[in-house]
Structure 1
Amino acid sequence: MRSRSNSGVKLDNYVRMVSKTILCHQDPVTGLLPGDLGNHHAWVRDNVYSILSVWALSLAYRKNADRDEDKAKAYELEQNVVKLMRGLLQCMMRQVDKVEMFKYSKSTSDSLHAKYNSQTTATVVGDEEWGHLQVDATSIFLLFLAQMTASGLHIIYTRDEVDIIQNLMFYIEDAYKVADFGMWERGDKTNQGIPEINVSSIGMAKAALEALDGLNLFGAKGGHESVVHALADDIQRCTSILSSMLPRASMSKEVDAGVLSVISYPAFAVEDIDIVNVTKEEIITKLQGRYGCCRFLRDGHKTPREDPNRIYYESSELKLFENIECEWPLFWTYLILDGIFINSPEQVQEYREALEAILIKQKDGINLVPELYSVPPNKVDEEYANPHSVERVPMGKLPIKWGQSLYVLGSLLADGLLAPGEIDPLNRRLSTVSKPDVVVQVSIFAETEHIKNLLLKQGIDAETVEDIHPIRVQPARVLSHIYARLGRNQRLGLSGRPYKRIGTLGTSKFYIIRNTVFSFTPQFIDHQEFYLALDNHMILEMLRNDLSYLASRWRITGCPTVTFPISSNMLTDDHKELDPAVLAVLRKLQDGYYGGARIQTGKLSKLKNTSCCSQMSFMDDGEQGGDCSGHHDNSVYVFAMLLELFMASSLSTDVYLYLPTRLFCAPQPGLHLENGDGMVRAFVDVIFVMNLPRDTKGDIDYQALVQVLKQTRSLQDQADILYILFKDKGMIWDTKLHGEGSTVRRLLSNLYDKAGKLKHWGLIRMISGLLKKKVDELEEACSDLLAHQKHLTVGLPPEPREKTISAPMPPDKLAKLIDVASENNLIIAVLTQEVMVFLAMCIRTQPSLFSEMFRLRTGLIIQVMATELAQSLNCSGEEATESLMNMSPSELKNLLHHILSGREFGCFDTCIFTPGIEASDIGRNILFAAGIPQRYRLPSIELFQDPAGRRPMRDGRQGQWLRRRRLDGALNRVPVGFYQKVWAILQKCDGLSIEGTVLPASTTREMTPGEIKFAVHVETVLNRVPQPEYRQLLVEAILVLTLLAEVELESISRVIHVEKIVHMASDMFYDDQKVLGADHILLERDQANGICRLLYDSAPSGRFGSMTYLSKAVCVYVQDFLPSGACAIQ
């Protein structure tokens, strides 16, 4: 046991240090700490970090208090902490309107301020005068609010304050897709006020959400009203993005020392120990110097070459700061703490000794942590030439309170005065400890007794609504409405959580709402919003993905439970048997293993005993009634109405619509897609094109056309007529077909339901496009792709038709952009939505498919999909477009996966068509194309042309390399390390010119080789080339050029025209093939760029390989600039 006198003396010394360096500056009224003596600006982040040492000392005194004065000192220190935290809370409560606006807008102008007046808690600069949006600052306040509350401090006093904290959780829950200015307040490394997605913000937000979820903010004395909630799906999205981004810190920073706070204390946000170690090694290797670590590469802050009179930098001047970045002792305090938490005494000793050597010693014996060490102005050139060679001088704040506080905290832990668990009562330090395997529980739920009996015949136990009573099953969208009430407070003007989809983790729990137990079906089962859930194979694929996701991502106490409903849509056409695919999956579930997950099936009531169950106390009717307090607004009545609404909705889906018997066995209607420049063309049958009813003036008689609509029984004919009515009369025109209110929109909606029952995918997509239906998870899919550092483009190339999406967008704005980029082409607009959703599904489950791809071009991908079909079916573009539209969503996803993986795709081998479609019937209406008016035509998807206009043989190798280049070009896929090699060659020349667009050498002065931003910049230049196979030849030519970076020459003082090299290689190839007897048909040139088409289909290696000719062309092109013998061709 430690000697009381020894520990007491040490604590007294630390209190003296903290009092003189931190507490002496605390405002007596607000409790806030100003950043500098000269002003009263109090930064949120700095204040929280600065008070940590005070909190740690209070815990140490509480632990070692043997005398009354020690207990009094502990209490005094605790109240200093509470006063500061409540001062920050008051600052944020004064901006409650911004919290409410930001939840919906995600705008930088609506964000909470990053700093406040330390004397008044008011703002100190305008909304646009500072990089205020710093999600990590708000998150670290919330994280330590949770930790301090768990340690016994009482910081939150009222229910209004509880609601504020709950809404602050909503404020940060989308951190994984919010571009902010980061912990250094600069955003993009260029310091031009450009926000970007930052690992530091995502990690801190994840930690805060995890720490606060289920925490009672009133501590041990609180009731259920003071408990706050976070959604597990938001936390896991942050986890996924962290894993995908690290060790990179952002788009512009390939490494950032601030990430230490994410991978170690205080966030402990990363669960994969390998990622933690790799990231720490990257920081130490690339950023550590003799006086600490620099913040990031080419950081110009307070360097001698920085112009203090300008706020922003010029992009080209970043190179000036290379090797002379200021070094911050602050980061060694993080590494000391990291060593303590990972139990590495060697690391602790190494960094404590290094830190002690650079601290500033005061006469009174107090050691101060300086803000940073800078290179003296007269030693800049020497340091640039020989990094870490010159003696640096301390600059900036002395001490920097943030660093001083962490220094004291590390010393208390290292000296044994405090245990790691005492400053981490929520056990965040255990995040990397391996978790036990998850068993996913699945309850099979039959919507009707008939379905239950069918399942029992197959030996599958299922339950109906009556069987599971008193448990109630509801669709996921009900849960979304319920969560939208969380944190609602009328007095403060807080609307609660924005309405969003509830993810897999959220629907895999039981919920107790007003003493009733609820289970919710997965979101992907709901087909009311979009047609993906009409496809049984798609449902089963999404079920497999969800089960796999639950097995790998579940971190909550109790087992996840999935309620999987079997509906009438999962039966065969005669409703007498289960769909064989559904039955096969149900058998796998019973076997106990599916989708890489361990499965336990059973009755819902029994599974509940081992499941996770959440108490939704905010839905209870409080004794205050809500009118006075503002916390409730008739929640009981609203909840009852919600259940009644959705019960009626679910029942309505079981009503069978009248459908002529012959349509069940009739082949699926063919779709006639012809080129045209009109807005869209209906799928107009020849009967109505040639013989539309006319009035006396020769115009279409629309009332007579409505009567024809009433009489026809063909879904195709109904769609054709309704399209004509939509095109000429509009959506709200009342046909009065069944009395008042029979608008075109309503009739199209009815037809959509009928087509859905019959799985007529072409009609479903066409009507979905007309009704402007949007896939429910479109915004989420877009955000997931962006969060994985993949930019998106929509529409077909080239620009400006092709639109780039580089930041998350609201759903309505995203849908409008897709429509504009698609030029109102129904096919492109509808398929774009599907492709975006499928890409997001793939990147969640197989991120390796997207290696070295930073921009996903959905328009080109759709174009490649149509081309793949045309080649496999040996059909025209119109027929391929029609085939694409008639594919089920699961078949479309399968085709996309084949394209992403680069595997050969054969329609005939894989039975790509649904049973009602025959390849020979695909274009059966083409004969009548001449009689179709221009205004009723739907443009087909333009295909890529094959060499000599011929299609490759399915059993041969012809077209193999053309296909490979086309796929890689369309997907922007390049070899590993390609962009780093481009950076290296730019160091040796004035730039690379690609079809008139120059990638200047000055780019390297702004960006480092490992930046995603640099890769995206290179991609942007390459994407000016519309033909993907030609683009890929240019990539191969650049690869050959990068060999010049390895040659010992100073520089090529000119811009290299890459397209000229490709043309030279093409001419050489053409001449050689001509000598060998190839005819002019085989050696046909591409009309767009003059390249010999056969070169596209040549293998890279070999005597006649593309790389061979490109190497020859490069040698000829640069022979005047290379040293003798540097480019010999073997």
Structure 2
Amino acid sequence: MKRSRSDLRAKLEYYDRLLSKTILKYQNPVTGLLPAFLFEDGTAGWAENHAWVRDNVYSVLAVWGLATVYRRGAEGEENREKAYNLEQTVVKLMRSLLMAMMRQAGKVELFKKSRSRTDALHAKYSISTCATVVGDYNWGHLQVDATSLYLLTLAQMIAGGLQIIFTLDEVAFVQNLVFYVERAYHISDYGIWERGDKTNHGETELNATSIGMAKAALEAINELDLFGSRGGPSSIIHVMGDEIAQCNTKLVSLLPRESSSKEVDAGLLTIISYPAFAASTTELCDATRTEVISKLEGRYGCKRFLRDGYQTVKEDPHRLHYEPSELKVFENIECEWPLFFELLLLDALIRGDAPAIKSYREKLESVVIRDGSEGLVTVPELYQVPEDKVSWEYQKPHSQDRVPGHKKQHMWSQSLYILCGLLEEGLLNIGEIDPLNRRLSMAAQPDPLVQIVLLSEDRKMSVALKKRGITAETVHRAEQDPTFPIKILPAHYLPRLYQQLGISSKMGLSGRPMQSVGVIGTSQLYHIHEAVVAFTPQFLDHEAFYICLDNRLLVDLIRTDLAYLKANWKLMGRPTMVLPLTRTMMGEEGTWDKSPVFRLTQALVAGYIAGVRVQVGVMADYLDTASVKQLHFIDPVKAASLLDIPQIDTKITRSSMLGRVGRRSFVKVPVSVVNIW
């Protein structure tokens, strides 16, 4: 039933008042930061001055959503004023979190190398000053999901039109935050609930929520211009595709589990649906959702995880850690969080699941707290089993009525309640809070066609291969003719280029650590000012890897990498793999039929190998269809030194640089190769 304009306006005014009275009222006027919760007396008590990064980002989503509604329907000065005020409220909070983290730039630099929990960014800061509020050893600060959530939301907001990043120094810091989270797949952290493993001994572990949020953040911020429409090459964020693929591989292996100590965690709802949408398939998403609902859902919300002792009457509030034997006493009396009804409702709204929308709306409305005097709705942090009913709940789970915990309003939950309402009432569209279309990331994609460029060691080999129906490009060493615009380099050159990314001497940031690059990285072409550069795969690097001397293993590695590209390629354009062929690999010409490498080239020419579609050709034919990455952040003089190419003209516009990568620009242009033999 279509609602009248006056009804929609009344609803909008209601949510505006609800936001003002329950969230914006408690925002610090100087920093814009928010407390995570309120006690029954309307204060945050001991946490009055504590601003958690994760909670603040979630809390500001409702503000952003309402600002978007006002901006879209800005009729009259009043609405335009409200839209601008709400948008700047969002910007203020996001920038305060950024400033708080930038003060710890030294920790970011240390963490890139150490991955140590003591070098982690703090999980919370002072609401009034953005300074730290607890020591390095007094809290479980290493929470990759919190930093990743900030990056993901930052990317979405910038894509939605907000101007949050102002200077190139800030761009450099955000780029280093990418380096901070990009290896989440092997960083053990304290997780979304800050306590580490389930036994509460302060031990870190790999968490699916952290890995999934990092994957989503990396995908969202990759190639994003942080200055929006006002930016240029220097304000673009770069992410290595191999790091995203590694996060995805680890996430798939974990789901529907959260970690080794937790069977399943309701926090996974943030990964499989809004805001991360990190699950790679709908089947994996559905399986995880079903697992959460079947094992954790109750009458008042969902448990965070099984045997969670937080805020139960059996938990000793004077001890931070449990004994393993104690976990049994929390079974069946775990607190239930209304927050997860909101996440399930939000998920149902996005999927358009009408029965689920109706069900979770009814469940949610039954657990919120209503203020009779003002008609306001607040969402408590959790519901707990009263002490006098614990024994009955042990005997028959979900049979006893629960009561709200001491935190009568949970800001994160309050924000999602408003966001769900705006979406359900039709005031807000999901695309407006997901401008990067993360929700479409699970859509099936066609398998990529891998473009293969074979490079023969000399012209004689090229002619011999041609007689056998195999196209192999003949190349000359760069030392003989250094002016060719297409360079083919060994893989170890690529990390040297990325070391120049994110450098800020003022903040003591050194750029990306020297780390090897995977097959996704070497299967792209790179446009560096006027030069186009391709790289051979890492396993063919003689300086770094001796295995390339074993031809049978070499063939297996090529097959494996092709299968890996098929499973993980998500970039624009086709992957292009450059394979040099030497006489050492091929053997004597009369014995080629016995060579594993020669038989591999025959399979490649046939167009199908290891379940992957391939096409063999020359580099000039692939420039139009290849995936090309722009690396114009590198200083021209530095690029010339690193790549052994002539100094590059810097007076080139961005559009002209993009236009030069095409077949017409490079047809019949020879290819130059440096040190790959």
Shared topology, TM-score over 0.5? yes
In 2: Cα distance, 1:196 partner to 1:339 partner: 31
The alpha-carbon distance between structure 1 residues 2 and 511, as it changes in their structure 2 partners (threshold 3 A), is farther
Where in structure 2 are the equivalents of 1:283-298 lying within 5 Å? 283-298=292-307
Q: Does 1:490 align with 2:505?
A: yes
Where in structure 2 are the equivalents of 1:42-441 lying within 5 Å? 42-363=51-372, 364-441=374-451
State which of 500, 503, 511 in structure 1 corresponds to 2:526.
511
Aligned to 1:639: 642
Is residue 477–residue 672 contact of structure 2 (8 Å, CA) maintained in 1?
no
Shift of 1:484: 1.4
AA in 2 matched with 1:105:
S
AA in 1 matched with 2:417:
Y
The alpha-carbon distance between structure 1 residues 575 and 506, as it changes in their structure 2 partners (threshold 3 A), is farther
Aligned to 2:584: 569
Matched position secondary structure for 1:241: helix
Matched position secondary structure for 1:609: coil
Aligned to 1:30: 31
Is residue 478–residue 642 contact of structure 1 (8 Å, CA) maintained in 2?
no
Matched position secondary structure for 1:399: strand
Matched position secondary structure for 2:409: coil
Matched position secondary structure for 1:160: helix
Shift of 1:466: 4.5
Is residue 188–residue 205 contact of structure 2 (8 Å, CA) maintained in 1?
yes
Structure with the larger RCO, 1 or 2 (CA within 8 Å, 6+ apart): 2
The alpha-carbon distance between structure 1 residues 643 and 560, as it changes in their structure 2 partners (threshold 3 A), is farther
In 1: Cα distance, 2:60 partner to 2:102 partner: 20
Is residue 208–residue 254 contact of structure 2 (8 Å, CA) maintained in 1?
yes
In 2: Cα distance, 1:438 partner to 1:458 partner: 27
Aligned to 2:14: 13
The alpha-carbon distance between structure 1 residues 474 and 636, as it changes in their structure 2 partners (threshold 3 A), is closer
Shift of 1:529: 2.7
The alpha-carbon distance between structure 1 residues 264 and 648, as it changes in their structure 2 partners (threshold 3 A), is closer
The alpha-carbon distance between structure 1 residues 643 and 181, as it changes in their structure 2 partners (threshold 3 A), is farther
Where in structure 2 are the equivalents of 1:527-926 lying within 5 Å? 527-572=542-587, 577=592, 580-621=595-636, 635-636=638-639, 638-640=641-643, 651=675
In 1: Cα distance, 2:18 partner to 2:641 partner: 57
Is residue 478–residue 643 contact of structure 1 (8 Å, CA) maintained in 2?
no
Aligned to 1:848: none
Is residue 476–residue 672 contact of structure 2 (8 Å, CA) maintained in 1?
no
Where in structure 2 are the equivalents of 1:1051-1066 lying within 5 Å? none
AA in 2 matched with 1:383:
E
The alpha-carbon distance between structure 1 residues 614 and 2, as it changes in their structure 2 partners (threshold 3 A), is farther
AA in 1 matched with 2:613:
R
State which of 488, 508, 522 in structure 2 corresponds to 1:473.
488
AA in 2 matched with 1:23:
L
Matched position secondary structure for 1:253: coil
Please list every run of at least 4 consecutive aligned residues from structure 1 whose deviation after the TM superposition is greater than 6 angstroms. Answer: none
Q: Any gaps of 5 or more consecutive residues in structure 2?
A: 38-43, 479-483, 648-670
In 1: Cα distance, 2:552 partner to 2:464 partner: 19
Matched position secondary structure for 2:473: coil
Shift of 1:458: 1.6
Shift of 1:233: 0.5
Is residue 45–residue 140 contact of structure 1 (8 Å, CA) maintained in 2?
yes
Write the deviation string for residues 932-960 of structure 1: whole angstroms up to 9, x where unpaired: xxxxxxxxxxxxxxxxxxxxxxxxxxxxx
Is residue 174–residue 234 contact of structure 1 (8 Å, CA) maintained in 2?
yes
In 2: Cα distance, 1:606 partner to 1:455 partner: 19
Aligned to 2:456: 446
AA in 1 matched with 2:269:
L
Aligned to 1:810: none
In 2: Cα distance, 1:648 partner to 1:151 partner: 43
Identity percentage over the alignment? 51
Is residue 203–residue 269 contact of structure 1 (8 Å, CA) maintained in 2?
yes
Write the deviation string for residues 642-670 of structure 1: whole angstroms up to 9, x where unpaired: 999xx99955x86xxxxxxxxxxxxxxxx
In 2: Cα distance, 1:13 partner to 1:596 partner: 57
Is residue 4–residue 64 contact of structure 1 (8 Å, CA) maintained in 2?
no
Is residue 35–residue 411 contact of structure 2 (8 Å, CA) maintained in 1?
no
Is residue 453–residue 578 contact of structure 2 (8 Å, CA) maintained in 1?
yes
In 2: Cα distance, 1:583 partner to 1:199 partner: 43
In 2: Cα distance, 1:190 partner to 1:638 partner: 53
In 1: Cα distance, 2:406 partner to 2:254 partner: 31
Write the deviation string for residues 996-1044 of structure 1: whole angstroms up to 9, x where unpaired: xxxxxxxxxxxxxxxxxxxxxxxxxxxxxxxxxxxxxxxxxxxxxxxxx
AA in 2 matched with 1:140:
L
Shift of 1:25: 1.1
In 2: Cα distance, 1:397 partner to 1:606 partner: 64
In 1: Cα distance, 2:455 partner to 2:539 partner: 15
Write the deviation string for residues 601-629 of structure 1: whole angstroms up to 9, x where unpaired: 111111111111011011144xxxxxxxx
Is residue 465–residue 472 contact of structure 1 (8 Å, CA) maintained in 2?
no
In 1: Cα distance, 2:76 partner to 2:96 partner: 31
Is residue 370–residue 400 contact of structure 1 (8 Å, CA) maintained in 2?
yes
Is residue 454–residue 578 contact of structure 1 (8 Å, CA) maintained in 2?
no
The alpha-carbon distance between structure 1 residues 484 and 572, as it changes in their structure 2 partners (threshold 3 A), is same
In 1: Cα distance, 2:590 partner to 2:188 partner: 50
Shift of 1:61: 0.8
Matched position secondary structure for 1:361: strand
Q: State which drifts further: 190-199 or 19-28.
A: 19-28
Shift of 1:557: 1.1
Write the deviation string for residues 795-823 of structure 1: whole angstroms up to 9, x where unpaired: xxxxxxxxxxxxxxxxxxxxxxxxxxxxx
AA in 2 matched with 1:361:
R
Is residue 104–residue 498 contact of structure 1 (8 Å, CA) maintained in 2?
yes
In 2: Cα distance, 1:447 partner to 1:397 partner: 71
Write the deviation string for residues 176-202 of structure 1: whole angstroms up to 9, x where unpaired: 100000010000001110000000000
The alpha-carbon distance between structure 1 residues 96 and 461, as it changes in their structure 2 partners (threshold 3 A), is same
Is residue 453–residue 579 contact of structure 2 (8 Å, CA) maintained in 1?
yes
Shift of 1:346: 1.1
In 2: Cα distance, 1:470 partner to 1:575 partner: 36
Is residue 568–residue 575 contact of structure 1 (8 Å, CA) maintained in 2?
no
The alpha-carbon distance between structure 1 residues 252 and 291, as it changes in their structure 2 partners (threshold 3 A), is same
Larger radius of gyration: 1
Write the deviation string for residues 1051-1080 of structure 1: whole angstroms up to 9, x where unpaired: xxxxxxxxxxxxxxxxxxxxxxxxxxxxxx
- TM-score when scaled to structure 2? 0.92
The alpha-carbon distance between structure 1 residues 354 and 198, as it changes in their structure 2 partners (threshold 3 A), is same
In 2: Cα distance, 1:573 partner to 1:584 partner: 14
Matched position secondary structure for 2:243: helix
Shift of 1:573: 5.4
AA in 1 matched with 2:28:
D
In 2: Cα distance, 1:83 partner to 1:575 partner: 72
Shift of 1:92: 0.4
Is residue 496–residue 642 contact of structure 2 (8 Å, CA) maintained in 1?
no
- TM-score when scaled to structure 1? 0.55
Aligned to 1:462: 472
State which of 535, 550, 553 in structure 2 corresponds to 1:520.
535
In 2: Cα distance, 1:233 partner to 1:121 partner: 34
In 2: Cα distance, 1:327 partner to 1:608 partner: 56
Shift of 1:564: 1.0
